[in-house]
A and B are shown apart, each in its own frame.
Chain A
Amino acid sequence: MPQKYSGRRYFTNMRWILTVVMLMCGYFHLAAMTITVGKDFPIKSINRAIAMANDGDTVLVHEGLYREGNILVNKSISVIGKNKPILDGQKKFEVVTIRASHVMFDGFVVQHSGYATLEDPGGIKVYNAYAVTISNNILEDNFFGIYIHYGRKCLIKNNRIRAYGVEEQQIGNGIHCWKSDSMEIIGNVIRGHRDGIYFEFVTNSIIWRNVSESNIRYGLHFMFSNHDAYITNIFRRNGSGVAVMFTKEVNMFNNYFEDNWGDAAYGILLKEISDSYIIGNHFKENTAALYLEGANRIIIEKNEFQNNGWGMKIQASCMDNVVSGNNFIGNTFDISTNGSLVLSTFNNNYWDKYEGYDLDRNGIGDVPFHPLSLFAMIAEKNPPVMLLFRSFMVNLLDRSEKMMPSLTPENFIDEKPMMKPCIL
């Protein structure tokens, strides 16, 4: 059987070639050096170690305090900290600058970066690079935390970023991405910056399992960033919640928006956004859980709105949104709007204020529900009216409006309200 024979011979040849290739790989691998930096080692400066390194090398930094001004990584190397060495910018310098692709920066404490409104120095700043990994760092008291400028395929993972900003103008963002693509922001904890995570012109990226809390302005700020997703993040006690603006095709799944309480605080603020999904999120104790302005073709499904001031503020400029299968529980106002035009549909939501009945026992109320209360509308037009909130007079007005809707928009209606909370 000649055919079988030739096959075996081919296989033997392949084995040879593979062995050679593997050996060569081993050779190159050995060629990649590890340069160790530390006070007990010959090389004491990180910058010198980087200058000595070639692409593919590793700079291993041992614990200690390093005050080297700016540390510039301009080669494709791994810079790894052992036992969290501290890099201090002395409030004058940008601490770490990465200007090469395939850099890994892991395990440092980066603190006290300089402050300059024109150059925006960061704790770690990446310029025009591909496949950079920034992981397991602790950033303390920097102007900007991690700043990615023209990054592609970068991974920012498990960093703890903390600042002590007081005023919006004097502090930068925790993780700031500008003109980037395919970013992964995973498992970071950000506190006390201006915006926790800031995206401007960032596409095809994912924000997953981060905690962004107690930031001065937004927990997450999106501008002109299409095709992104943020999933299972916690946004808590931020000055004004989360803002998603001028963007299309954003997926917002399973996030938690809590305690964003203040005069202009929102769970999510949506402005000029279209073709997006808001599914399975939890809104708890926000002043306004979901604010929509100029929002089109958004599917809002299976979210929980609990104990908010306003469950949803949907302005008349919104179109073709579908709100279904959500639970509205314990909100002061479930819905409010600013006009009489309603171009979105509501169905199969659970409203705890619903007082209808279900004769055929199919779980869907037999009378439609008007989620918009008269007082919510009056208060929208004339805010000082809130002074009369919960007074007998206002309760009376609301009751009579519920019986015979005359002032509230007639088509603002849930035709099939659920009798019991939806299972999310």
Chain B
Amino acid sequence: MNKVIKFIVLDILKNKFVVIYTFILLILSWSVFSLENNFTKGLLSLLNIILLIVPMVAILFSTIYMYNSSEFIELLLGQPIKRKKIWMSMYIGLLISMTSAFLIGAGIPIILFAFSSVGLMMLVTGCLITIIFVSLAMLASILMRDKAKGIGLSMMIWLFFSLMFDGLVLFLLFQFSDYPIEKAMIGLSFLNPIGLSRILILLQLDVSALMGYTGAIFKDFFGTSMGVIISFLCLLCWAIIPFLISLSRFNRKDL
């Protein structure tokens, strides 16, 4: 299995796309920190990059890569390797290359310019978001046989989590503004990995006081170590469960 992973990582690096992605991330985050004299402001600008670009690149690249290497998978299936191992090594190979790209691209500027609890939180959640969207890409590629449909689906997933979900939440908030919905909101926020990461990072920035009474409830939950642990467990679930579903599908799939 290690050999397969190594092969996949090298193959992705040969592709050069990941190298370019790393480079662009590096330039973006570097410029964000050098433009702003205040590193918190830089972190806030970086937040938008992490919450928008990182998941998009992770899911699109992984989906395309999965479709492009379908022949390679078929070739591997001819070898005496278990199906589970093939799928897992695809996942781990993608995951290693994408997270290392993120860690080099965004991590170096963050550690240099803003080595704080916020910066660390940003790095950790950024990695988790990358992993989550790689695993969602695996799911999308197994659900759709057609490449175009698969890429469309992964685009939809990205769009849903980064834009439509928030719109939906906004709508619900207005519909139920007369009810005490704060606790339900906490539950709802677990359904969106991007939103959850955003909240975790913002609470490190201590904007919770801005939210008044509601903020107090959020702080009581997300601000405690218990809440942080639960949120991270939830993010881990987001990273693992779609992959597991895709794995079981792949095991049963007739290629």
The residues of A with any CB-CB pair to B shorter than 8 Å are 261-265, 287, 309-310, 330, 332, 381-396
Contact = CB atoms under 8 A, between A and B. Distances in A.
Interface in B2-61: 38, 41, 44, 47-48, 51-52
A396 B166 CA distance: 11
Contact of B181 (A264, A332, A384): A384
Contact of A391 (B195, B207, B210): B195
Contacts of A332: 207, 210
Contact of B199 (A261, A310, A387, A394): A387
Nearest to A285: B206
A309 B206 CA distance: 10
Interface string B190-208: 0000010011001000110
A383 B214 contact: yes
Contacts of A310: 210
Contacts of A287: 209-210
Interface string B205-224: 01101111111101000000
A31 B169 CA distance: 84
B162 interface: yes
Nearest to B51: A392
Interface residues of B, number: 35
B163 A393 contact: yes
B13 to A, nearest CB: 31
Contact of B173 (A263, A384, A392): A384
B112 interface: no
Nearest to B165: A393
A328 to B, nearest CB: 15
Contacts of A381: 177
A283 to B, nearest CB: 15
A394 B166 contact: yes
Contact of B182 (A384, A394, A395): A384
Nearest to B206: A261
A265 B209 CA distance: 9
Interface of B, helix, strand, loop or mixed by DSSP? helix
A383 B163 contact: no
A390 B202 contact: yes
B71 to A, nearest CB: 37
A332 to B, nearest CB: 6
A309 B41 contact: no
Contacts of B216: 263
A389 B206 CA distance: 13
B174 interface: yes
B159 to A, nearest CB: 10
Contact of B185 (A330, A384, A393): A384
Nearest to A308: B210
Given A265-B209, A392-B51, A386 B166 contact: no
A284 B67 CA distance: 54
Interface string B50-79: 011000000000000000000000000000
Given A263-B213, A393-B163, A388 B207 contact: no
Most A CB atoms within 10 A — which of B47, B163, B170, B210?
A: B210
Contact of A384 (B48, B202, B210, B214): B214
A391 B199 CA distance: 9
B177 A387 contact: no
B189 interface: yes
15 contacts: A263-B213, A265-B209, A309-B207, A330-B38, A381-B177, A382-B177, A383-B211, A383-B213, A383-B215, A387-B169, A387-B173, A388-B170, A390-B48, A392-B48, A395-B48
A384 B198 CA distance: 15
Nearest to B170: A388
Contacts of A395: 48
B214 A389 contact: no
Contacts of A389: 202, 207, 210-211
Nearest to B212: A383
Nearest to B201: A390
Contacts of A388: 166, 169-170, 195
Contacts of B169: 387-388
A349 to B, nearest CB: 20
Nearest to B47: A390
Nearest to A381: B177
Contact of B167 (A261, A385, A393): A393
B202 A392 contact: no
Q: Which 5 A-B pairs have the closest CB atoms?
A: A393-B166, A386-B211, A309-B210, A383-B214, A384-B214
B41 A387 contact: no
Nearest to A386: B211
B44 to A, nearest CB: 7
Nearest to B210: A309
Contact of A309 (B47, B170, B209): B209
B241 to A, nearest CB: 23
B202 A382 contact: no
Given A384-B185, A392-B51, A263 B206 contact: no
B38 A382 contact: no
A395 B209 CA distance: 20
Contact of A262 (B166, B182, B209): B209
B212 A390 contact: no
A386 B215 contact: yes
B224 to A, nearest CB: 16
Contacts of A386: 210-212, 214-215
Contacts of B44: 390
Interface in B203-255: 206-207, 209-216, 218
